[in-house]
């Protein structure tokens, strides 16, 4: 049977669906708020263009040429004598680790869709805190049920495979997401808060930037483009060979960045219109936004339903992409059926995810912790600060140094002009490794500026 491949638009939407996720709509706005706005956004944008894009195209190249799961693709693409590089493909397990908490957060979003539908969103800051803490610290059973629902959704789509599952889900959910976000942005444009939001997001105040802000911006650029766990290797393995890797990577980068910026401006328009503060941290969309929206009466409730739905769509298409690399791996290396592989992998992260949920509860927090970190935070830290940068570094070195020039050329060079090819290679060889090493040293407190 011929292998099922994405259509061109199917591949771009699936890869963009992987990239656009909670990172864009939940995390990007709140870290922008934490680090003071415009200057942080500028660093993030520069990193995306100079480093993120190059790594994204590099990761896609490995899949395009390898045509298999991440481990096999690295093995196939590596030159003779360097086949040990297949172990770089083990980065796919980081996807399962991310899923242990990512799925829990999608569960929280489901809970907020439910609260919006039943008109029980909080109306002031104390209530907002109470509602969120109630879910996260005191209701592990509720949180687990929502986490289960998120897991089932992901499993069902993955059971459909590349074409009937992944491509189809993205063809439906991604346009819906875009329409919702642009609609909300259009509505927010009528606010006085809109110009304040634009100013906050795009007028850089460089005095707010320190090394921590830079590191967070670089780390976020990787996370948001879905680099470093083999998602893009796995998806690109099923892309049509009539399609340009370089152009596809460009589209994905543009869509991902655009959606993060739209989400940021839209959310901050609401926040500033009602005089709330930008520096709220992770509670921004779960605590602050609902209060703002409930002030708007019925319109606000409709907006909150639509907004949390969009957030759920974004999260689910990314969740699918975080799990598929492991699913393909077990299918191709161990000849599992798709059903068996999907059930195994989703069950794995579902179970560990329960530990993550319990680690935030008052009752079991102590039991489910590693050092002084709740399991949830430890899982997040290990991926964000260690595994993703390592994955990114592996890709930069592999594509920049290990791969034969003719292989790189064969794919990338005839797709772009010579100067752009040189810039891309320079970024992979020098800029990306330097930035990643700086970031890792900083995360471990070895260098501070
Ligand atoms: N990029 C997604 C987000 O912004 C998350 C994600 C999906 C991801 N696949 C990934 C992150 C692969 C790193 C690697 O939410």
Tens digits of residue pLDDT in 166-207: 999 999 999 999 999 999 999 999 999 999 999 999 999 898
Mutate to test the pocket of ligand 1, among 15, 20, 23 (most ligand atoms within 8 A of CB): 23
For residue 449, the CA-to-ligand 1 centroid distance in Å is: 28
Task: Give pLDDT, residue 147.
Answer: 98
Least confident residue range of 59-73, 75-89, 288-302:
288-302
For residue 68, the CA-to-ligand 1 centroid distance in Å is: 20
pLDDT at 267 over 80: yes
Ligand 1 atom at minimum distance from 231 CA: 12
Mutate to test the pocket of ligand 1, among 44, 154, 322 (most ligand atoms within 8 A of CB): 322
pLDDT at 96 over 90: yes
For residue 225, the CA-to-ligand 1 centroid distance in Å is: 6
Split at pLDDT 50, 70, 90, the class of 122 is: very high
Mutate to test the pocket of ligand 1, among 95, 311, 389 (most ligand atoms within 8 A of CB): 95
Ligand 1 atom at minimum distance from 19 CA: 1
pLDDT at 286 over 90: yes
What does pTM read for this prediction?
0.94
The burial class, CB within 10 Å (0-12 / 13-18 / 19+), for 385 is middle
Split at pLDDT 50, 70, 90, the class of 414 is: low
Ligand 1 atom at minimum distance from 314 CA: 15
What residues line ligand 1, using a CB cutoff of 6 Å?
18-19, 21-24, 223-224, 226, 228-229, 231, 318, 321-322, 388
For residue 318, the CA-to-ligand 1 centroid distance in Å is: 6
For residue 226, the CA-to-ligand 1 centroid distance in Å is: 4
Task: Give pLDDT, residue 443.
Answer: 81
**Percentage of the chain exceeding pLDDT 70:** 98
Measured by CA distance, the residue closest to atom 11 of ligand 1 is 226
For residue 92, the CA-to-ligand 1 centroid distance in Å is: 12
* Mean pLDDT of the region 6-17: 96
Measured by CA distance, the residue closest to atom 8 of ligand 1 is 226
Measured by CA distance, the residue closest to atom 7 of ligand 1 is 318
For residue 1, the CA-to-ligand 1 centroid distance in Å is: 31
């Amino acid at each position: 049977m011929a292998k099922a491949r994405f259509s061109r638009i199917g591949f771009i939407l699936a890869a963009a669906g992987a990239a656009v996720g909670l990172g864009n709509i939940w995390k990007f706005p709140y870290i922008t708020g934490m680090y003071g706005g415009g200057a942080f956004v500028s660093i993030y944008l520069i990193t995306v263009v100079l480093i993120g894009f190059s790594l994204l195209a590099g990761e896609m190249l490995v899949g395009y040429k390898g045509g298999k799961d991440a481990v096999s693709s690295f093995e196939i693409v590596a030159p003779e004598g360097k086949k040990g590089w297949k172990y770089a493909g083990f980065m796919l397990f980081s996807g399962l680790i991310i899923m242990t908490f990512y799925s829990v957060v999608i569960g929280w979003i489901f809970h907020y869709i439910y609260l919006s539908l039943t008109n029980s969103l909080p109306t002031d800051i104390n209530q907002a805190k109470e509602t969120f803490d109630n879910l996260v610290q005191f209701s592990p059973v509720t949180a687990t049920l929502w986490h289960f629902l998120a897991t089932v959704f992901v499993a069902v789509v993955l059971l459909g495979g590349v074409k009937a599952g992944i491509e189809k889900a993205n063809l439906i959910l991604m346009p819906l997401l875009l329409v919702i976000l642009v609609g909300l942005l259009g509505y927010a444009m009528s606010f006085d808060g809109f110009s304040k939001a634009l100013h906050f997001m795009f007028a850089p105040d460089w005095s707010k930037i320190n090394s921590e802000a830079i590191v967070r911006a670089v780390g976020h650029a990787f996370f948001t483009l879905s680099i470093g766990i083999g998602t893009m290797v796995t998806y690109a393995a099923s892309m049509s060979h009539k399609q340009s890797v370089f152009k596809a990577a460009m589209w994905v980068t543009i869509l991902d960045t655009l959606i993060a910026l739209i989400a940021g401006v839209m959310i901050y328009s609401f926040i500033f219109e009602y005089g709330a503060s930008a520096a709220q941290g992770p509670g921004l969309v779960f605590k602050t936004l609902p209060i703002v929206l409930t002030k708007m009466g019925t319109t606000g409730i409709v907006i909150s339903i639509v907004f949390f739905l969009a957030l759920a769509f974004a999260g689910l298409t990314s969740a699918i992409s975080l799990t598929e690399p492991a699913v393909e791996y077990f299918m191709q290396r161990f000849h599992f059926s798709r059903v068996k592989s999907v059930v195994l992998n989703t069950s794995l992260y579902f179970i560990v995810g329960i530990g993550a949920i319990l680690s935030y509860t008052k009752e079991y927090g102590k039991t489910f912790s590693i050092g002084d970190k709740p399991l949830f935070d430890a899982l997040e830290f290990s991926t964000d600060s260690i595994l993703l940068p390592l994955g990114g570094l592996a890709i930069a070195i592999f594509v920049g140094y290990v791969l034969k020039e003719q292989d790189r050329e064969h794919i990338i060079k005839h797709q772009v002009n010579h100067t752009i090819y040189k810039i891309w290679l320079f970024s992979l060889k020098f800029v990306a490794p330097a930035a990643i090493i700086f970031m890792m040293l900083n995360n471990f407190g070895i260098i501070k500026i």
